[in-house]
Amino acid sequence: MNTQTEIPKSEPLIIMRRTYDAPRAKVWEASTEPHHVKRWWGGPGFTNPVCEMDVRPGGLWHHVMRFPDGHELVMDFVFIEVEPPARLIWQNIDHGRRKGPPPTCKITSTLDEDGGKTHTTMIAEFCSFADRDYALGMGFTGPIAASNDRLVEYLKTL
């Protein structure tokens, strides 16, 4: 995996870092223009029948992703901060419809240029639990990160 993932114990975040072999203006363009996003979002085998992005603070991102098996996932976001080509913050809006796993409600994506390459940092902030559950919930990553933990070994056998 080329993505570095960090799961801080003290904060309800997942941090992912990735370096692209492209200048950041290009990474920004590929990430914020719907006709580009439609072509890569989801990965191989996925298609994106709908991608409407109004890239400005308060603008909506309405997206439908189709899985390789044909089922579709509707994703609705709102852009919070838009600072091309350095920083993009967006947030889930679920209109109270969401069931299932916890959403990350806010994602901050930062782009740093480094000699024609772009280092990106994506910070996903969880918001689906009550404040109390934030800290508690992420506490469970402790044993998962510890490779010598018996519980972790056990989980692998499941």
Partner 1 sequence: MPTDTLSATLSALADPTRRGILARLASGDATVSELAEPYDMSLAAVSKHLKVLEHAGLVSRSRESQWRPCHLEAKPLKAATQWLEDYRKFWDRNFDSLAAYLKTMDGDHGRPAKKGRSR
Number of Cβ atoms within 10 Å of the Cβ of 51: 19
Does 119 contact partner 1 by CB under 8 A? no
Question: Is the separation of the CB atoms in 145 and 13 below 8 Å?
Answer: no
Q: 42-81 mask for partner 1 (x: CB under 8 A)?
A: xxx----------x--------------------------
Q: Does 133 bind partner 1 (CB under 8 A)?
A: yes
Supply the DSSP symbol for 147. Answer: T
Could you say which DSSP state residue 128 is in?
Answer: S
The correct pick among 11, 13, 36, 113 for binding partner 1 (CB under 8 A) is 36
Within 10 angstroms of residue 53's Cβ, the number of other Cβ atoms is: 21
In this structure, the strands spanning 87-92 and 13-20 are: unpaired
- What residues line the site for partner 1 (CB under 8 A)? 1-3, 5, 14, 16, 18, 20-22, 26-27, 29-36, 39-44, 55, 84, 98-102, 104, 122, 124, 128-129, 133, 135-144, 149-151, 153-155, 158
